[in-house]
Chains A and B, each alone.
Chain A
Amino acid sequence: MSDNAAVKILICQGTGGISAGAKQVEAEFTRLIAEKGIVAQVGKRCDIVKTGCRGLCANDVLVDVITPELGRVTYDFVVPADVEAILDQHIVNNEIIEKKKAKEYYNTFVDQQMRVVMTGCGQIDPELLSAYIEEDGFKAIEKCVKEMKPAEVIDEVKKSGLRGRGGGGFPTGMKWSFCAASPGNHKYLICNADEGDPGAFMDRSILEGDPYCIIEGMMIAAYAIGCDAGYVYVRAEYPLAIDRLQKALDTCYEKGYLGKNIQGWGFDFDMRIKKGAGAFVCGEETALMASIEGERGMPRPRPPFPAVKGLWGFPTNINNVETFANVRHIINKGSDWYASLGTDTTKGTKIFAVTGKVKHTGLVEVPAGMSVRDVIYKVCGGIANNRKFKAVQAGGPSGGCIPAEVLDTPVDYDSLIKAGAMMGSGGLVVMDETTCMVDVARFFLSFTKMESCGKCVPCRIGLKAMLDILERITEGRGEMADIDTLLEMGATIKKASLCGLGQTAPNPILSTVKYFRNEYEAHIIDKRCPSNSCKELLLWQVVPEKCVKCGACLRACPSNAIKWEKGQVAELVKENCTKCKSCYDACRFMAIE
């Protein structure tokens, strides 16, 4: 990004933005700027910047226009057809197009957050080293190498209170000191970017939006621990992240920020990307190392811990993407500053991917300790379609549900565990009254069962058996004894499994039974699903008392199975119905049962 351009146009180009058509919007801007000779008209240079994820993915494509006269204005839902108007009115005539401008909620969404890790995301061009250096890039590593001893760097990270952002919450500085204390001259550093949790995408957004900050974080860790080689293990499903990180690595090698004797500081570090191949269990550190070695990604028992005996038998330190992204800020601004954010036990900020039935889905970065309620209602605008809140699922397949009664739980490692969920990777899936909790438990279990590597019996067989029971319940063939069996099996699997996948897989079931036992009982005793969600238990009929005669179901039905006229109660014609449930989702009054 060059500073002499008076007009800047920032276009969000994370995966979310691109799937909403950011590339076309960018092409249209480029074409029209050239065609209209905007440069000549305003006598200044326009500068189009691609940026990474801005966080509010539901409203992509987001475009920021920055002009000296009007400052920064954000437009949302931009399509190529809008581009001409933005150029003519906003840039040439200095008039904001009010109806395309992002509404008040966008400011709320941004103001309620505290951006530390994601400062660069959505602000700088992720593919330009110069843009990163302008943002104090590589200052932190320079400070480490020139002014601090490795042990001092570790102390600084320890004092900051940073804990592993992969979800486990182990103190990062402590982990580093273990590996640093291991004997040997050859040590490995691994960045775990195998973000497999369905519903979490913060790691991907950091890699796409600010890849250099990961590289710098890893360099600092490498200097502190004494590692000479590093791997970034990225999920194969993230082609854009792999592409941008690879470009960043190539640039760093070219400009002497990686390799031998970096910038003449007398410090060596090599890095390469290792592409995953689609296995959720590879997010577990021992399985991840097996995968890098070219084996099946199966976990092994610990000890020996990776810090003692890891990749190819050498001492290895593994941290998550978000953990590494925090490091440069701790070094630049000091551990005291970092420790002043958050709560007693959880320092700093945490990024959450808020998805599901909430008004504004996307990534939010908040200081640890904000309540779950505030994240959902204040930052993300509450529940969509005026429905009632039921629960929020935190921590993906290894986490649990937080119902309305414990919604004031602060988001820190310990409070979430107390509430029966966990921080996990930071996915928050919001559910309303139309989401069936038994079905959610079944969904997560079917995922973990499928992704179980099969090495240990409790996980391989136990999850399958639990899933069979849950499937029976959702099909209306459950028995009361099933609930106790589930609880008992869940407890055993948690205790007896080899790795984190099996040890946490029962959590969604245990927490839904704890808070929503009534839903389980309704499925088993009354053979009905209170949320009108489990297909086998639906009656496929309209409840006349609840129908407000709006016709939304008719518009949603793809197969002519709804009879409705203005002012009439709708009717469902079973012969035509393909049981696709489109009408259930369209009805805002739960009037179809």
Chain B
Amino acid sequence: MSNAPAEEIPAEEIDLAEANHIIDKYLTLPGNLMPVLQGIQDSYGYVPKPTIDLVAERLNVYPSQIYGVLTFYAQFHLKPRGRYIIRVCVGTACHVQGAERIVETFFGRLGIGHAETTPDLRYTFEKVACLGACGMAPLAMVNDDTYGKMTVQKVDEIVETYNQRPMK
């Protein structure tokens, strides 16, 4: 949960078919707001504004209520995110093993801070609390790939590797 101010949301054109499909799936389930929003987040990579209006209308809840939920939970994002999401664990075990150093090196290499995305939409960087692989501390993840026992040198290797990867 961050205490960041509300973000400016650009108006955008998106295809709502997928969102409608997700809403159909959960329409009759009690407490369906979260699963619907999670589905949209997974499918679009973030929660676009038009989908919020759509959900409000179809589930008969206020948009303010939806924003309340979206801004409360760390998992939801209101802006597009990078193609490669770099997560550095700052849980207790990683902290004790020097995670802060890894975080700062990434900041320096990517020029972005926590929960920010590079302008070219290649990287999003996040500090996260405990990914649960404390035996490998300090730990970093890029999308679904895990990199254990991180060092400052390994940060450079990772950024080099993913700079070469395609954007699609």
Do residues A198 and B133 form an inter-chain contact, with CB atoms below 8 A?
no
Bound: A242/B68 CA distance, A: 25
Q: Which of B116-143 contact A (CB under 8 A)?
A: 128-137, 139
Interface string of B23-61 (1 = CB under 8 A from A): 000000011111101100000000000000000000000
Bound: A57/B135 CA distance, A: 5
Do residues A279 and B72 form an inter-chain contact, with CB atoms below 8 A?
yes
Contact residues in B for A277 (Cβ distance below 8 Å)? 34, 37-38, 73-76
Number of interface residues of A (CB under 8 A): 62
Bound: A274/B3 CA distance, A: 26
User: Closest CB-CB distance, B108 to chain A, in whole Å?
Assistant: 8
Contact residues in B for A296 (Cβ distance below 8 Å)? 68-69, 72
Q: Which of A557-593 contact B (CB under 8 A)?
A: 558, 578, 580-582, 585
A356 at the interface (CB under 8 A from B): yes
Do residues A435 and B134 form an inter-chain contact, with CB atoms below 8 A?
no
Do residues B136 and A19 form an inter-chain contact, with CB atoms below 8 A?
yes
Contact residues in A for B31 (Cβ distance below 8 Å)? 274, 292-294, 312
Do residues A294 and B92 form an inter-chain contact, with CB atoms below 8 A?
no
User: Closest CB-CB distance, B115 to chain A, in whole Å?
Assistant: 12
Known: A558-B153, A585-B98. A201 touches B38 (CB 8 A): no
Known: A279-B73, A355-B92. A558 touches B130 (CB 8 A): no
Interface string of B95-121 (1 = CB under 8 A from A): 111100100110010000000000000
Do residues A450 and B1 form an inter-chain contact, with CB atoms below 8 A?
yes
B85 at the interface (CB under 8 A from A): no
Contact residues in B for A580 (Cβ distance below 8 Å)? 101, 104-105, 152
Contact residues in A for B32 (Cβ distance below 8 Å)? 294
Do residues B92 and A361 form an inter-chain contact, with CB atoms below 8 A?
no
Interface string of A441-461 (1 = CB under 8 A from B): 001100100110100000000
Q: Which of A186-236 contact B (CB under 8 A)?
A: 195-201, 204, 236
Contact residues in B for A58 (Cβ distance below 8 Å)? 135-136
Known: A58-B135, A355-B137. A278 touches B74 (CB 8 A): yes
B82 at the interface (CB under 8 A from A): no
Q: Which of A172-186 contact B (CB under 8 A)?
A: none
User: Closest CB-CB distance, A422 to chain B, in whole Å?
Assistant: 15
Bound: A444/B92 CA distance, A: 8
Do residues B35 and A275 form an inter-chain contact, with CB atoms below 8 A?
yes
A530 at the interface (CB under 8 A from B): no
Partner among A20, A294, A355, A447 whose Cβ is within 8 Å of the Cβ of B34: A294
B146 at the interface (CB under 8 A from A): yes
Residue from B72, B76, B108, B131 having most chain A Cβ neighbours under 10 A? B72
B151 at the interface (CB under 8 A from A): yes
Minimal Cβ-Cβ distance residue in B for A199: B92
Bound: A16/B149 CA distance, A: 12
B164 at the interface (CB under 8 A from A): no
Contact residues in A for B3 (Cβ distance below 8 Å)? 450
Q: Which of A303-350 contact B (CB under 8 A)?
A: 312
Contact residues in B for A558 (Cβ distance below 8 Å)? 151-153, 156
Known: A18-B146, A431-B96. A297 touches B105 (CB 8 A): no
Do residues A362 and B130 form an inter-chain contact, with CB atoms below 8 A?
no
Partner among B1, B90, B136 whose Cβ is within 8 Å of the Cβ of A16: B136
Do residues B30 and A312 form an inter-chain contact, with CB atoms below 8 A?
yes
Q: Which of B77-91 contact A (CB under 8 A)?
A: 90-91
Minimal Cβ-Cβ distance residue in B for A19: B146
Partner among A59, A198, A236, A585 whose Cβ is within 8 Å of the Cβ of B91: A198
Residue from A20, A196, A274, A431 having most chain B Cβ neighbours under 10 A? A20
Bound: A443/B136 CA distance, A: 20
A237 at the interface (CB under 8 A from B): yes
Partner among A60, A274, A556 whose Cβ is within 8 Å of the Cβ of B135: A60
A427 at the interface (CB under 8 A from B): yes
Known: A294-B31, A312-B30. A57 touches B92 (CB 8 A): no
Do residues B151 and A20 form an inter-chain contact, with CB atoms below 8 A?
no
A502 at the interface (CB under 8 A from B): no
Bound: A389/B117 CA distance, A: 40
Do residues A201 and B132 form an inter-chain contact, with CB atoms below 8 A?
yes
Do residues B96 and A435 form an inter-chain contact, with CB atoms below 8 A?
yes
Do residues B1 and A429 form an inter-chain contact, with CB atoms below 8 A?
no
Do residues A201 and B96 form an inter-chain contact, with CB atoms below 8 A?
no
Do residues B129 and A361 form an inter-chain contact, with CB atoms below 8 A?
no
B22 at the interface (CB under 8 A from A): no
Bound: A444/B137 CA distance, A: 17
What are 22 A-B contacts defined by CB distance under 8 Å? A19-B148, A20-B136, A57-B135, A198-B90, A198-B91, A201-B132, A237-B131, A277-B34, A278-B1, A279-B72, A279-B74, A294-B33, A355-B93, A355-B96, A355-B135, A362-B135, A435-B96, A440-B96, A450-B3, A558-B151, A580-B105, A581-B101
6 tightest Cβ-Cβ pairs between the two chains A and B: A57-B135, A198-B91, A278-B74, A19-B146, A294-B33, A355-B93
